Amino acid sequence: MRHGTTGRALAAVLALTATTLAGCAGPTGQASTDLVGVAMPTTTSDRWIADGDNVSAQLEALGHTVDLEYAENDVPTQVAQLRAMIKAGADVLIVAAIDGTKLKDVLAEAAAADIPVIAYDRLIRDSPDVDYYATFDNARVGVQQATTLLQGLGVLDGTGAPTGVAGPFAVELFAGSSDDNNATVFYDGAMSVLQPYLDSGVLVVPSGQTDFASIATQGWSGETAATRMTTLLPAYDGTGLRLDGILSPYDGISIALLKATASLGYGTAEQPWPVVTGQDAEVASIKSIIAGEQYATVYKDTRQLAEVTVSMVEAVLAGDEPETNDVTSYDNGVVIVPAYLLTSQVVTKNNYQQVLVDSGYYTQEDLA
């Protein structure tokens, strides 16, 4: 809620302002009073705050009125927010789902009111009422996470070529929330890289937990992941193995796992940090990477995702077909949703400056 356009009164003022300033609102010189509903999952992660801010700013710069709402990972709250947007006469809905399977009914109401729906970052499943999908190449994110795990361990070199190191390296695997379609796509991408090394014994998973159901983390919760970690590590006692690496799907989980391993004796000269992966290039993780703790993250430029989504909004409002670049991969169980996939980038201590600071995503002070 904290970023929401609080109440219709403010929205009315904004609409009035847009009308009064006719000619200043958009590149066409046409002031717009279109209402765009933006439903985001949570403010507990930097990335979703950046997403909401970027989408709103870009829409408002084009003269649209925005109702931005956060549901704090509570599905009924997100459904209620969408229902309120429909009732308020939204012209388009942008939705980053909490549980991609729970929006069927409310999206049927949107369809009945002729409101186009754009799935943002996360695929909305089991509904015919999803028009477009703006996201990153999620399978590639998983490939990048697994590749950085192997690079941190020295199994692959900087170019991604095998070094011939035999291991065995002990690793544990963590996945995202099973109600988020992205989580399985990240996992499948990661396993496509890791499986051959698990088969050959270069990697071992002492807990034995490698299937998605065993390693999923409900709600992408760092706390839940850390609790699971503390139940896994005592099994290493007396085996002669140390935890060499962790496949972590998201920076919030990575930071929690680093803390958990520290409480179990890691992060010292005798017992160095395990190689820990991540996603989202969140500030806490970049600081951790700079400090030599987290090994890598996968950066997804939320400014680009906002741009793609906003251009989809502009196209549907104009009655045009938005640009897409993948019309086959994202079958939501009912329809294949035409998607625009962006490209993510690996960030380590070696390139954070160039990728994140030189590009203006963060300032040096943000990371101090």
Residue 250 interacts with ligand BGC (CB under 6 A): yes or no: yes
Q: Are 295 and 247 in contact (CB under 8 A)?
A: no
Kindly list the distances between the CA atom of residue 292 and the CA atoms of 149, 231, 278, 288, 295, in Å, as whole numbers in the listed order.
14, 25, 14, 6, 7
Residue 299 interacts with ligand BGC (CB under 6 A): yes or no: no
CB 343 → ligand BGC: shortest distance, Å? 14
Q: State the SS3 of 173-214.
A: ECCCCCCCHHHHHHHHHHHHHHHHHHHHCCEECCCCCCCHHH
CB 188 → ligand BGC: shortest distance, Å? 14
Q: In this structure, is the dihedral angle defined by the CA atoms of residues 295, 300, 302 and 303, taken in order, positive or negative?
A: positive
Residue ranges in 73-102 that form contacts with ligand BGC under rule CB under 6 A: none
Nearest partner of 138 among 364, 334, 305, 349, judged by Cα: 305
- d(Cα 103, Cα 172) in Å, to the nearest integer? 33
Name which position in 51, 69, 121, 244 contacts ligand BGC (CB under 6 A).
121
Taking the least distance from each CB to ligand BGC, the nearer of 139 and 155 is 139
CB 215 → ligand BGC: shortest distance, Å? 15
Taking the least distance from each CB to ligand BGC, the nearer of 50 and 90 is 50
- d(Cα 333, Cα 336) in Å, to the nearest integer? 8
Residue 58 interacts with ligand BGC (CB under 6 A): yes or no: no
Taking the least distance from each CB to ligand BGC, the nearer of 261 and 297 is 297
With CB atoms as reference, the residue minimizing the distance to ligand BGC is 250
Number of chain residues interacting with ligand BGC (CB under 6 A): 12
Contacts of 300 (CB under 8 A, 6+ apart): 47, 136, 141, 279, 280, 281, 342, 344
Taking the least distance from each CB to ligand BGC, the nearer of 186 and 197 is 186
Q: What is the DSSP string of 209-259?
A: --SHHHH--GGG-HHHHHHHHHHHGGGGTTTT----EEE-SSHHHHHHHHH
Taking the least distance from each CB to ligand BGC, the nearer of 75 and 241 is 75
Residue 187 interacts with ligand BGC (CB under 6 A): yes or no: no
Q: Which residue has the tokens 């670049």?
A: 325
Taking the least distance from each CB to ligand BGC, the nearer of 40 and 233 is 40
- d(Cα 74, Cα 350) in Å, to the nearest integer? 38
Taking the least distance from each CB to ligand BGC, the nearer of 4 and 222 is 222
Phi, psi of 328 (to 5 degrees): -125, -30
Indicate the Cα dihedral angle 92, 94, 99, 101, nearest 10°: 40
Nearest partner of 347 among 331, 361, 326, judged by Cα: 361
Residue 148 interacts with ligand BGC (CB under 6 A): yes or no: no
Q: What is the DSSP string of 92-154?
A: EEEE--SSTTS-HHHHHHHHHTT--EEEESSPPPS-S---EEEEE-HHHHHHHHHHHHHHHHT
Residue 280 interacts with ligand BGC (CB under 6 A): yes or no: yes
Name which position in 145, 279, 285, 288 contacts ligand BGC (CB under 6 A).
279
**Mask 321-360, x = binds ligand BGC (CB under 6 A)?**
----------------------------------------
CB 217 → ligand BGC: shortest distance, Å? 9
CB 300 → ligand BGC: shortest distance, Å? 6
Taking the least distance from each CB to ligand BGC, the nearer of 102 and 122 is 122
Residue ranges in 157-186 that form contacts with ligand BGC under rule CB under 6 A: 176, 180, 182
**Mask 215-234, x = binds ligand BGC (CB under 6 A)?**
-----x--------------
Taking the least distance from each CB to ligand BGC, the nearer of 250 and 295 is 250
Residue 122 interacts with ligand BGC (CB under 6 A): yes or no: yes
Q: Which residues bind ligand BGC (CB under 6 A)?
A: 45, 47, 121-122, 176, 180, 182, 220, 250, 279-280, 300
